[in-house]
Structure formats: structure tokens, C-alpha cells
Amino acid sequence: MLASVATFTLDGISSREVTVEVDARRGLPTFTLVGLADRAVRESRERVRAALLNSGLDFPQQRLAANLAPAHVHKHGASFDLAIAVGLLAATGQVPHERLASHAVCGELSLSGRLRPVRGALAFAVGARHAGYEHLIVPEENAEEAALVSEVEVLPVPDLARIVDLLRGEWAPLAPVAGRRVFQPPPPELELGEVRGHADAKRALEIAAAGGHNLLMIGPPGAGKTMLARRLPAILPPLSFEEALEVTQIHSVAGLAPGGLVDRRPFRSPHHTVSAQGLVGGASPPRPGELTLAHRGVLFLDELAEFSRAALDSMRQPLEEGRVEIVRGQRSVCFPARAMLVAACNDCPCGRPAACSCSDLELSRYLRRLSGPLLDRIDLVCQIEAVPTVELVTGPDRSRGTSSAEVRDQVARARRRQVDRLASTGAHCNADMDGSLTRRLVELSSDAAASLLGLSQGAALSGRGHDRVLRVARTIADLAVREEVEARDVEEALGYRLSPFGRLAA
Amino acid sequence: MNAAAGACSGCLRRSLLIGRLAPRIAGLLGKPPEKRKGGLLGLGCEELVEALVVPAERHDVRRWLEELDLDAVSAELDEAGIEAVCRHCQPYPPALAFAADPPPVLWLLGGRQRLADALRAPVVTVVGTRKPSPYGREVAYALGRDLAAAGVTVVSGLALGIDAAAHRGALDGRRASSIAVMANGPDVPYPRTNTLLWRRLVDDSVVMSELPPGLRPYRWSFPARNRIMAATAELTVVVEAAEPSGSLITARFAGQLGRGVAAVPGRVTSWSAAGANGLLRDGAAVVRGAQDVLAELAPDSRAMLRGPRDLPEPANEVSALDPAARRVLEAVESEEGLEAIGRRAHLAASDVRSALARLEGAGLVLRDPLGRYLRRAGGRGSRPILAP
């Protein structure tokens, strides 16, 4: 007898429908699996056999063949276990066929017959909706996440025996709570208001958070660059529901989702030994890299100068386009990568501010390592200075700044203005605007235009640099709740631009 | 035109011999200064051979010297656009000809005429450390620019740091030219970082050296070059120099030759200014700007000058500033980091940023590659000195 069951395979961060066909007929008892399956999929035969027997079901002594269609798509992972098992049960008449037309299934089997969670449940649910299935059977742990897709009824199931009951119409699971928000309050030590001094750096963080701008912090070791960057998540604007779905889907595919909606902007800080593949994604099957995991959030690169040139260069195009296109063999996948880049580096190669004896040549060589096209994408450059000890010890409440919550409110308000302005353009924040959008949407007052013209002559601004200044000025005006960009906004934005790197007179 | 026409054959031979024996001089002068034999570079051909070549090889060297085809050398020089001037011919710097151990020949790029023009003006040597502070670099640049604008020829050594800044300033100052004295063949841009500057000097000014074309620098050729810089100029100005340093060697040569020595004061806590401050303690003239240098030059040469023509009063620009910018400008006098400037000026971070952008645009402050701010030396020009 023949049975077919619908399931999904991951393709980048989205999914693709796979039909599992199982044929059972008399003959020598064998079990073959065809359809470009990787090792984990082929091993599923053993899991399925043991799971069926341990669930008190019958594993038929027949000639069994399972085909994963379409046959040209590579299949990997263990999420086909359940579909193969259900196909076998249907092909041998242990469960009725009727419900299989409207139910898609996914799940990994343990030998005991229990269902284990899979990566990418949200992507599978999206796929199920797209393919028109009314029900999706998932392991219990994946239920909340999959239930974020409202048009599909998600059926969480604990083990194989329950599925048999379900398909026979003898049992129905409780509907999962859809879209429960996983709220993790920021740890108290990451409060921005506790940072003493660093008024300038806090301002830079505020602007960066409000507009999604890339930020580079330069300063001596121990001055507080990392400390400041770690406080950035506390002031980021909240994710919109659509953004949260995107982030959840990515994290689910990468196996990082906590189960449910990811509600906070991601903050990724890979170590500087990360490879180019680790940063932008790769391997086979292609997996998202740090840049994609930081989508709609922050990618923090501490000790920027220590990253390999290859890794940094690999981010150039993704940062420009907001997505990563990875081609491996005959398949190509596209990962979203709209992250805000925050980088920190020392201000000289030796890293000893008190006893620095770096020559100009060493310094310019060091800066040149950083420079190049990556720095072209940096909107804000901020020098971090060590706060004098006097201020750390005695300068208490005077320098105690606004709290994270207050800054977050301002940032959120500025971001709402941007979202309203950018509605239907595809951009989410000022940093997303491309050149033409920038020139169309950034209204300069006549003073501001004159100021920009006057100051940019001395500053030798390139066209790209010009746009960057405009975008940052737009964000500064948004923070001040002004529709028109004024001269001081432009001036402040100009103050954050990159110094003439690499052009150090020797 | 015959490139070697400005040099007699004896001098040419001697200079080429020095070039051939340069590696051996390196061996001999590798010793500490007090054990060195002085006057080596002033010796005649035969004495040079005896001093530097072991007896077994002397014959070969002498034969090489005899068979030297000066016409062929001259043709090669023509090809490369290099000219030679010996101390018996014009326009060899007269001040140099009467110093001890004058170089037999100066190899020139840029042409005899330009050297002659440059030497007609008063000549000042500006030297300093290869690792200057932004302050030192700015002072050297402003000094070079304003001296050149006042019609003074600025001599320096095309080294990194102060030397390069002084050359850049002089080239930007226009009216008079700048002479680079190299410690290697004039056609070898060294250090390589300064290749563009070397090209500018060759195109607009003069590059000269005691060593024949094609030679790399040797350890001994740097102090040897310093003696030429000191002897060529009436006054040697040390901008920023550590202790000990090549700049102090130049100053010592200048002192021994009876030329003026002046220095720009630096912070007493900075090791890179220790040499210059030491010179001041020992009686060198204090230089706060081009005006002090002009005052220090001999009265007759002052008469030749029309004075620094186009040094505007920066005070005008300052008075036109808004209050916030003026407060920030005052703070920049004593602080360089943006955070510290803000603290001192009692202004919000956003106001400091925008004020500094205005000041930078007005050419009153400059920013180094690390984002530290510095008050620009007075004078015209909002031209950023960090531009290539």
C-alpha cells in the first residue's frame, strides 16, 4: 500500500515542502530510503523502527521503500523522522489516510517514541500556511513558536502513540498559547544611568540606537568601550511584531530560539577569531552567520583590529545590501542581515596608553588595517576616553546620567517617527535609507544646507559620506522631535564622521 | 646639456669613490662616535682608498677609479635628469664650501637653477623627531609654510614626522622653495612613505644628496647628511627632538660651525620634547613661530625680506564665533579629547560636537586620525595638514 505525508525541510531561513511517500509490499523485509537524504535522514530508519516497536505499534516485516520528494532537493536533519513513521503507519493500515491530506507533520523521534524538538519550527509553520495545510503536527516544545503563524492550527504532540490516537480521531491536544512573549528584563547591571562620565559616548549610543547607525568606538584599553557597548541593548527600541517574527525565524533555524517569540533585539558579540563563514554564514548546508543572527539587532565586534581581514571584508557587501547570498555547490540561499554594526578598538597597536611609544608608521599601519571599505559603512565614530579617577570616585550624582528607561523612551519615540516616515519604502530606520531615499526624505532647513555646504568643503566629503551625514543628522533631529533638520544637527553629525584615516602625514 | 658640467672631474671621481666605498664606511663608522675617525669624508681619493680598503684590494679599486668613464656617467645622469655640482662650481652652497669636510659633489634633482634661486634667499633648516606629537607636526608645518611665505628657503631631511611636515608646509607656503637633503642617492625616495612628498619636491623644488644616485642610505650617512643641513643654513630650528637624537646632532654641527641654533619649546613632561627643551636651556633661541625665526636671522637678510606677507590675523575669525564655539575653542587649548573638552566647557555632548565641527570648518582646530582635537597654529590657511 502507498501513503504520502507532507513535511518540510529548511532552505536558508525559510522552508520547503517535502512529500514523504512510503510504499509497503510483500517481499524480503527491507527498508530503503531514497531522495538525496543526508546521513542523519538515512539513520532515521533505525529511529523509526525502534520508536514504532517501543510505542507498541507494529513494524511490518515487508519490503518498505520511502521516497523524499522532490528528489533533487538535499534533505538534512532529523525532522523527517515523524513523517516517515506516520507514512509507514498509514501504508500498513495502522492509521487512516483521510487526515493526512490536511495535516503536515514534523519532528524528530527518540527510540522510545517520544518526539524531540526540531530547528526551524516557525519556518515550517510559515511553509505549511503557504502550502495550504490546515494543521501542523509538531513536538510539544515547538508548539508555541509554530503557533505564531495564526492561519495554521498547530497540534502539539508528546509521542508517537498520541499521534496514532490523533489521526484516528480519538484524541485532540490542547491548543498552544499563540505568540506568548518571552520577556527577559535587562540585567540590572547593564543600566546606562550608572555609567559615570562618558557623556559623549552615551550620546553616540543614543543616536546609533535611534537610527540603527553603525558605530565605531576608539579608545585606550579599559576606558569603557565594551562596558558601554554592553549597555546598548537596554536602550534599543522594541521590535515590531513583524521584526520579531523575522528574528524568531532566524533564531529558530539556528537552534537558538527559546521557544516562543523572540522579543528583544539580538545582541551578538563574536570573538575576534571568528572566521568569515562564522560571520556571514556558510558551511553545507548553509547556516546563518553572526551577521544574520544579529538581524534587526546589534553585531558587536570588540577589538575590531584583531579580526581577520578576510572576515571583515566578507561583511562589506552584506552590510551594504542588508542580506547575505551564499552559494554552495548547486544551491544558493539568502539570509537577511540588517544588523547594526557596533565596533570597538584600541587607539594604538600597543594598547598601553601610559607608555605608548608607537611610531606614526606603526599607527598609520594599524589604522590602515581598520580602514578600507568596512569603515566606509561606519556612520558614527566616537572616541572613548578614560574617565578621570576623581570623577569615578567623587563625581556621583552630577554626572549620573539619564537612566536606560528614559533613553529607551526617547529612542523609541525617534524610531516611531522614522517608521511612520519610511512606511511603504521597505526601510525600517534611517540607517536603512539608500542614497535616493536619503535625499528625498531628509529635509534640510536653509541654514542647515548652507552649513553642510560650508563645512563639507573643508572636510572633503565624498558622496557617500555626504549621505551618511544626512542620515545621522536626520536621526538627531528625530531625537529632538523636529521634522526639519537644522544646522546644529548637521554640524553634530559632521562631528561624528570618520577622521581622515590612513591619510596620516608621515 | 651636460649634467656633469657643474662638477670638475676630480670631485666627481672622489664622490663616486665615496659611493663605491660606502658599505666600508658603514663598517668603520659603526663604532661609537667617540672612537670614530673624523674627517673621513673630507679625504682625497688616495687617502680614502688607504683608509678604507685592505692592501690586497687597493689595486683593484685604484684601477676602477682610473678606468671610470666620466662621459658615460654624465650620459646616465642626463638620462635620469640628475645634475652634479661640485664645490668648485656654482651654485654649490657657499656656506657649505667653507665648512669642515664639505661634500665633493652635491647630486641634484630639480635643477641647478632652482638650487641657485633657493640659495639666494636666507636659508633655515627645520629638523625634529620622526615621531612627533600632533602639536609638533602642526608647529613644523606652520613654520615651514610661514617661512616659505616670507621668502625663506626651508631645508630639511625628508624624514618622517617633523621633516616631512616642514617640507609640506614650505611647499604649501609657495613663495620660496624647500630643499630636501637626503641620506641616500637623490633619486631614491626614502623613506618610502614619503614618496609622494619626494615627488612634489622634485617637481617644484630641489632634492640633493652627497651620495651618488642609486645608493641606499647607510647608518653613517644620516649624521653626514645632518652636517650638510646644518652647514647650508644660517639657522637650525629644532621643533621636537628626543634626547639623544639625530636632530640634536644637526644642532651640534650648527653650533660648531657658528650657525644659529633655535628650538621650539615643548612640554617639559614629554620625552619627545626633551632634546629641544635642553637646547633652550643651553641658550638656543626660542621659536614660537615664523616671526621669531625671521627676527633671529641676520639683520641684512631681514632687510631682504618683505616680511610674512600673508599671515592674516586669526583674531578676526575668533571674534566672529558664537559663544559656544568660543568656549569650546578655549577648552581645546588645554584638553584634546572631546569628553574632556565638554567637561571643561560645561556643554552638552551634542553641543560640543557641533561646535567642534564649526571650528574645524573655520580652520581653528584640527582633528587627528584618532579624533583628538588640537588648536591650529595661527596663520591663514584652513588647509588640513593631514591631507596627502
In a domain, B61, yes or no: yes
In a domain, B385, yes or no: no
* Residues of chain B with C-beta less than 8 angstroms from the C-beta of A362: none
- Mean pLDDT for B232-243 is 92
Three-state DSSP state, A264: coil
On chain A, the residues whose CB falls within 8 A of the CB of B168 are 505
| Residue in chain A lying closest to B370 (CA) | A347
Given B278, B304, B330, the domain boundary residue is B304
Residue A505 confidence (pLDDT) = 33
Q: B294 near B268, Cβ under 8 Å? A: no
- Among B204, B196, B145, residue whose Cα is nearest residue B173: B145
Query: Minimal Cα–Cα distance from B337 to chain A, Å?
Result: 7
Chain A, window 43-82: residues with a beta carbon less than 8 angstroms from a chain B beta carbon:
none
* Residue B243 and residue B334 in one domain: no
> Could you say which of B272, B304, B336 is where a domain stops?
B304
CA angle A83, A89, A93 (to 5 degrees): 140
Are B229 and B318 contained in the same domain? no
Same domain, B109 and B186: yes
**Domain assignment of residue B381, yes or no:** no
In a domain? residue B341: yes
Q: What is the pLDDT of residue A63?
A: 94
How far apart (Å, rounded) are the C-alpha atoms in residues A372 and A379? 14
Q: What is the pLDDT of residue B241?
A: 92
* Cβ distance of A505 and B386 shorter than 8 Å: yes
B97 is a domain residue = yes
Strands A115-116, A108-109: pairing is antiparallel
In order along its 506 residues, chain A shows pLDDT tens digits of: 899 999 999 888 889 999 999 999 999 999 999 988 888 888 999 999 999 999 999 998 999 999 998 988 888 888 999 999 999 999 999 999 988 999 999 999 999 999 999 999 999 999 999 999 999 999 998 988 888 888 899 999 999 999 999 999 998 888 776 655 555 555 555 788 778 888 889 999 999 999 999 999 988 888 889 999 988 988 999 888 888 889 999 998 888 877 778 888 899 999 999 999 999 988 877 889 999 999 999 999 998 888 888 888 888 889 888 889 888 777 788 899 999 999 998 887 777 766 677 766 677 777 777 766 677 788 898 888 887 776 666 654 555 567 888 888 999 999 999 999 998 888 889 998 888 888 888 888 888 888 888 777 656 667 777 888 899 999 999 999 998 999 999 989 988 886 654 333 32
Q: Are residues B266 and B135 in the same domain?
A: yes
Residue A376: phi, psi to the nearest 5? Answer: -60, -25
A399 versus B246: the higher-pLDDT residue is B246
| Residue numbers of A between 190 and 209 with CB closer than 8 Å to B | 197-204
CA distance A49 to A45: 6
CB contact under 8 A, B191 and A506: yes
- Identity at A49, one-letter amino acid code: R
Structural domain that includes position B364: 314-375
Asked whether residue B231 falls in the same domain as residue B255, the answer is yes
Check CB contact of B371 with chain A, cutoff 8 Å: yes
CB contact under 8 A, A495 and B386: no
Size of interface A-B (CB pairs under 8 A): 121
Closest CA to B385 of B146, B125, B126: B146
CB contact under 8 A, B350 and A505: no
Closest CA–CA distance from residue A499 to any residue of chain B (Å)? 5
**Is the per-residue pLDDT at B236 higher than 50?**
yes
Which of B58-62, B130-134, B173-177, B270-274 is predicted with the least confidence, judged by mean pLDDT?
B173-177
Least confident of A271-285, A418-432, B147-161, B318-332: B318-332
User: In this predicted model, what pLDDT tens digit does every residue of B162-196 receive, in sequence order?
Assistant: 999 999 999 988 777 899 999 999 999 988 888 98
Peptide bond into B191 cis (omega under 30): yes
Q: Which of B131, B337, B361 sits opposite A359 (nearest CB)?
A: B131
Could you say which residues from 4 to 43 on chain A have a Cβ atom under 8 Å away from some Cβ of chain B?
none
pLDDT at A294: 93
CATH number of the domain enclosing B293? 3.40.50.450
pLDDT-derived band of residue B287, with 50, 70 and 90 as boundaries?
Answer: very high
What's the CATH number where B359 sits? 1.10.10.10
- Structural domain includes residue A287: no
Domain that holds residue A46: 2-167
- Provide the CA B232 distance to its chain's centre, in angstroms: 11
Q: Are both B155 and B25 inside the same structural domain? A: yes
Contact B337 A495 (CB under 8 A): no
* B189 and B213 belong to one structural domain: yes
CB contact under 8 A, B339 and A491: no
Residues 461 through 500 of chain A touching chain B, CB cutoff 8 Å:
476, 488-489, 491-492, 494-496, 499-500
Rounded to a whole number of angstroms, the CA Rg of chain B reads: 23
Cell reading at A470: 544626512
Query: The domain spanning residue A108 has which CATH number?
Result: 3.30.230.10
**pLDDT for the residue A447:** 87
Is any Cβ of chain A less than 8 angstroms from the Cβ of B387?
yes
Residue A416 burial (CB count, 10 A): 14
Q: Which of B277, B304, B331 is the last residue of a domain?
A: B304
Which three three-digit cell numbers place residue A329? 555547490
B210-228 burial code (b ≥16 CB/10 A, e <16): bbbbebebbebbbbbbbbb
Q: Specify the pLDDT at position B53.
A: 83
| Together in a domain, B134 and B191 | yes
B383 vs B104, residue with greater confidence:
B104
Look at residue B28 and tell me whether its pLDDT is greater than 80: no
B16 and B150 in a common domain: yes
Please provide residue A445's backbone torsions phi and psi, each rounded to the nearest 5 degrees.
-70, 165
pLDDT digit string, tens, across residues A286-333? 889 999 999 999 999 998 888 888 888 888 889 888 889 888 777 788
B143 and B251 part of one domain: yes
Residue that the C-alpha cell 609622494 belongs to: B196
DSSP string, A244-262: HHHHHHHHHHTT---SSEE
Task: Give chain B's mean pLDDT.
Answer: 83
Q: Interface pTM (ipTM) of the complex?
A: 0.76
Instruction: Verify that B293 and B319 share a domain, yes or no.
Output: no
HEC string of chain B? CCHHHHCCHHHHHHHHHHHHHHHHHHHHHCCCHHHCCCCHHHCCHHHHHHHHCCHHHHHHHHHHHHHCCHHHHHHHHHHHCEEEEECCCCCCCHHHHCCCCCCCEEEEECCHHHHHHHHHCCEEEEECCCCCCHHHHHHHHHHHHHHHHCCCEEEECCCCCHHHHHHHHHHHHCCCCEEEEECCCCCCCCCHHHHHHHHHHHHHCEEEECCCCCCCCCCCHHHHHHHHHHHHCCEEEECCCCCCCHHHHHHHHHHHCCCEEEECCCCCCCHHHHHHHHHHHCCCEECCCHHHHHHHCCHHHHHHCCCCCCCCCHHHHHHCCCHHHHHHHHHHHHCCCHHHHHHHHCCCHHHHHHHHHHHHHCCCEEECCCCCEEECCCCCCCCCCCCC
Same domain, B318 and B300: no
What pLDDT, on a 0 to 100 scale, did the predictor assign at position B275? 92
Per the domain annotation, does B265 fall within a domain?
yes
Reply yes or no on whether the pLDDT at B388 is more than 70: no
Q: Which three cell numbers stand for residue B262?
A: 633655535
Domain membership flag for residue B386: no
Examine the pLDDT at B69 and tell me if it is beyond 80: yes
Domains in chain A: how many in total?
Answer: 1
**Considering its fold, how many domains does chain B have in total?**
2
Does B26 map to a domain? yes
**What type of residue is A105?**
V
Domain presence at residue A113: yes
Locate cell 565596533: which residue? Answer: A343
Q: What is the pLDDT of residue A388?
A: 76
pLDDT band at B304 (very low <50, low <70, confident <90, very high): very low
Residue A340, pLDDT score: 94
What is the C-alpha separation between A314 and A140, in angstroms, rounded?
39
